[in-house]
Structure formats: C-alpha cells, structure tokens
C-alpha cells in the first residue's frame, strides 16, 4: 500500500481556528489613512451571532461532503450558539464590531450577474446556482495582511466551476467580482471617501486554479452574514483582503481591474497580494504570523501561505517584471 505524502498546505484539525473565534474577532480597524490593519482576539459573544441558518433555503445542503484531497483529521465543530462577532466588513463600518449590524444584510432574494466577455450574459438566482455546483468542504489556511492567521473549514465549490458555467470568451483575461451595495442596510456606504463598491479581481489562470474557491458555508452550515453570506471568494495563497464577500457579480474582461484597496493605497495593497514572508508590508514585517485561537503563538509565514506547490507556476513569467509587487 502506497503511503500518502502530506502536502505543504495540509494542516491538522487542531490548527483550525475555533468557530467562535472566527465569528467574533476583536479587531480594532485602523482608519482609511493607514489601511485595513486591525488587531485580533476573541471573547464569548451573544447568542444571536451564532451561525444559525434555519431560515436559509439552502440549509438542507449542509454539511457537505469533505473532499478527500483536503481531508485532514476528524474535526470537532464549535457549538452553534457560540458566536463571537467582531469582523471585517467595511460596508457595515470601519470599526470591527459589525457582526450584529451585519445581521441586517438582506440575503434573499439574491441574484448574481455574469457579464462582460462571455458567450451569453445572464443573471442567475443564487438558490438555483448553488444547486448546480459541486459542493464540498475544504480546510484552508487564511492569512491576513496584518500578520495574523487562522484555519477554516469552508464549504462551497471551485471557482473554476463557475467560470465554466459562465463560458468566457477566449479573449477574457480577468474576472472582476463585486460586493453587494445595500444602502438601506449598510451604513458604511455613507463613508464617501471609500471607493465603493468593494471590488476585487483575479486573472483567469488564478480563477481556474484548483485552490480558488467560492465559499457558501462554513462549519457545516450556510455562511453567516458577517462572514460574507451568501457567497464569498476564498483564495488561500493571497492576503485576506482579496477574499471578497457577499458577491453579486462576475465580470469577464481583457483589462486588469483596479481593486478596492488598491485604489486607496496601491503601494500597500496591490492587485496581486500573494503571501510572501520575505516581502514586508511598508509598515510591518510579514515574516511571521500570530495564529488565532491556538497555542502556537507566532509561527513563520510560508511562501504563498504554504500553497506554493499549487500556485507558484502561475507567476513564474511575472517575477522578473513585477518583483515585489507580486506580494503586495
């Protein structure tokens, strides 16, 4: 019998961040002048913040089957009622105590627009789309640009499945994603100095990489509002601000987009934002990270957050041209 080799990105279940620490991160976010930096911690939070999704029409889909390729140790889920809700969702405010406010997010009806350089532009209902997608669970590292990290069991589907569904034209080089704008429920949108809507983009090659993922759930149930309901991007080899939440559109284009934080401070938060411990943020080191919810303290950061085997080849032809810009 052949022994299964452990890949660099695989982590033990013991390294997965507690759900209540994930849902309630005590982050004090710095204002726009210094970018999206915040500190992390966690305490017990109110019962309303628990990821109870009994009113979600997709609740019957969860928990989803774990992908054997990403299967680690058997996991113990945090009790559903334990929800600690400090989170990063600028549409609900630049502070980080936004989880209760985020419960106002209207997640039904929810439609997704697919447009631009595709065979046929369309608008699809999320509840219809999700039932067409190959749902699975994956355990991924998550590395914030502010040098803290966690590990989360995401449920969802490969972004490649959505790209295939969209049928982009051969000339499409990028996919641009946008967050919903609900002016009636998102007070942060009144902060006019931010370049709303929140926008992020990937190259087609990045979007179709095996690791690129659309998360629709976590910890065995639909994803909660403060974490990006009903669907968000997860690209574990990039810094967290690339992992855009509450998506409403996918636009295929031949022009590289300018992302949300790139518009604010391109020297600190660029388009590529790949994790690299040897390329510091202009204001702090990226050599190590503090693991949330564990006893590991600070640990060394890995190139591409430990996923170099899967993604380094995407950038081999760009390294000389872009240099450190690949990692900001």
Domain count for the chain: 1
328 residues of the chain, pLDDT tens digit each: 444 445 544 555 555 555 555 454 333 333 333 344 333 333 344 554 544 456 789 999 999 999 988 753 433 332 333 323 437 889 998 876 788 888 899 999 999 999 999 999 999 999 999 999 999 999 888 888 989 888 888 999 999 999 999 999 999 999 999 999 999 999 999 999 999 999 999 999 999 999 999 999 988 889 989 889 999 999 999 999 999 999 999 999 999 999 999 999 999 999 999 999 999 999 999 999 987 766 667 889 999 999 999 999 999 999 999 999 999 9
> Is 7 a domain residue?
no
Q: Is 56 left (phi over 0), alpha (psi -120 to 50) or beta?
A: beta
Cα–Cα distance for residue pair 119/140, rounded to 1 Å? 33
Maximum CA pair distance of the chain?
A: 61
3-state DSSP assignment of residue 276: coil
> Is 5 a domain residue?
no
For residue 281, the 8-state DSSP code is: B
DSSP letter string over 199-217? EEEEEHHHHTSTT-EEEEE
For residue 70, the 8-state DSSP code is: G
> Is 241 a domain residue?
yes
> Is 82 a domain residue?
yes
User: Which of 118-126's residues contact partners 24+ apart within 8 Å by CB, and which partners?
Assistant: 118/166, 118/167, 118/168, 118/169, 118/172, 118/252, 119/167, 119/168, 119/169, 120/167, 126/230, 126/231
Domain that holds residue 322: 13-327
CB 91 within 8 A of CB 183: no
Nearest Cα neighbor of 325 from 315, 314, 312 is 315
CATH of the domain at 132: 3.90.420.10
Cα–Cα distance for residue pair 246/131, rounded to 1 Å? 18
> Is 148 a domain residue?
yes
> Is 323 a domain residue?
yes
> Is 27 a domain residue?
yes
> Is 320 a domain residue?
yes
């Amino acid at each position: 019998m052949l022994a299964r080799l452990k890949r660099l990105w695989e982590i033990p279940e013991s390294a997965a961040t507690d759900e209540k620490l994930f849902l309630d991160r005590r982050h004090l976010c710095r204002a726009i002048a210094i970018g999206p930096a915040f500190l992390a911690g966690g305490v017990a939070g109110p019962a309303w913040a628990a990821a109870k999704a009994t009113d979600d029409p997709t609740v019957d889909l969860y928990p989803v089957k774990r992908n054997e390729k990403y299967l680690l140790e058997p996991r113990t889920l945090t009790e559903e009622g334990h929800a600690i809700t400090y989170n990063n969702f600028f549409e609900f405010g630049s502070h980080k105590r936004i989880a209760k406010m985020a419960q106002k997010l209207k997640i039904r009806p929810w439609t997704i627009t697919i447009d631009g350089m595709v065979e046929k532009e369309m608008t699809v209902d999320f509840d219809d789309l999700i039932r067409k997608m190959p749902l699975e669970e994956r355990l991924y590292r998550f590395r914030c640009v502010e040098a803290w990290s966690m590990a989360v069991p995401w449920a969802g589907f490969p972004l490649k499945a959505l790209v295939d569904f969209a049928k982009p034209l051969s000339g499409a080089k990028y996919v641009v994603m946008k967050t919903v704008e609900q002016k009636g429920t998102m007070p942060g949108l009144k902060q006019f100095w931010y370049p709303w809507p929140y926008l992020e983009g990937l190259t087609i090659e990045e979007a179709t990489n095996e690791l690129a993922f659309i998360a629709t759930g976590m910890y065995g149930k639909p994803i909660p509002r403060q974490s990006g309901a009903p669907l968000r991007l997860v690209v574990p080899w990039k810094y967290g601000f690339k992992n855009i939440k509450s998506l409403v559109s996918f636009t295929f284009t031949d022009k590289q987009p300018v992302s949300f934080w790139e518009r604010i401070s391109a020297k600190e938060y660029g388009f590529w934002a790949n994790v690299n411990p040897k390329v510091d943020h202009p204001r702090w080191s990226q050599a190590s990270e503090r693991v949330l919810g564990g006893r590991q303290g600070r640990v060394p950061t890995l190139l591409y957050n430990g996923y170099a085997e899967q993604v380094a080849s995407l950038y081999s032809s760009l390294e000389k041209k872009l240099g450190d810009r690949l990692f900001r």
